[in-house]
Structure 1
Amino acid sequence: MEKLSITLPAEMVDVINAEIDAGAFASTSEVIRAAMRAWMRQEEEHKERIAAIRARVRESLDDPRPSLSSQEMRAAIDALYEKHR
């Protein structure tokens, strides 16, 4: 492990200390490690969502079906609406 020195706003320090005082964590280091794990998990999930969105966009751009004009699309939506009305 590597020791780091960080500066946090008083509000964050108060939250950390409250968690330790409540017994949720034994030390400041444990709180920071838990926060980093949560952040890293969130970042990984974000990257996965972005990759999925990019893949869907790529699939859409590569779709060989012809594009529809806005008028054709509106007509298709209106027909669908009327059918299920």
Structure 2
Amino acid sequence: MRTTQQLSITLPNEMADVVKAKVRAGEYATESEVIRDGLRALLARDRAVESWLHQQVGPAFDALKSDPSRAVTADQVRARLAARHAKAR
């Protein structure tokens, strides 16, 4: 059984030029390898974002929802950032 599938894709000229340049430079053997590597990087980024959402954002939201007194206003955030910036100078 075949484990690959042939697709016909259209890329903007600039992206197509990058793909071709990677092959010309010897970084990849084929244009397909360039695209596969790019898709792997995209999938890895998606997994990292999903993990961050589940491990950090979700729990932080739940904690804030259970204790709204932990919230700070936008003005408080700006003031804290300004103080840190001034201290760093």
TM-score > 0.5, shorter chain as reference: yes
Q: Residue in 2 aligned with 1:80?
A: none
Query: How much has 1:67 moved relative to structure 2?
Result: 2.9
Instruction: Deviation per CA, 1:31-81: give whole Å up to 9, x if none.
Output: 000000000000111111122201111023224xx837x8xxx8xxxxxxx
Partner of 1:18: 21
Q: Which residue of 2 aligns with 1:67?
A: 69
The count of corresponding residues between Structure 1 and Structure 2 is 68
* Structure 1 CA distance for aligned equivalents of residues 69 and 35 of structure 2: 51
Q: What does residue 54 of structure 1 align with?
A: 58
**SS of the residue 2:26 aligns to:** coil
Following the alignment from structure 1 to structure 2, what is the Cα–Cα distance between the partners of residues 22 and 12? 15
**Cα distance in 2, alignment partners of residues 59 and 12 from structure 1:** 43
Q: CA-atom RMSD, angstroms?
A: 2.1
TM-score, structure 1 as length reference: 0.70
Which residue in the other structure is 2:32 paired with? Answer: 29
Distance 2:65 2:12 in 1: 46
**Larger-gyration structure (1/2):** 1
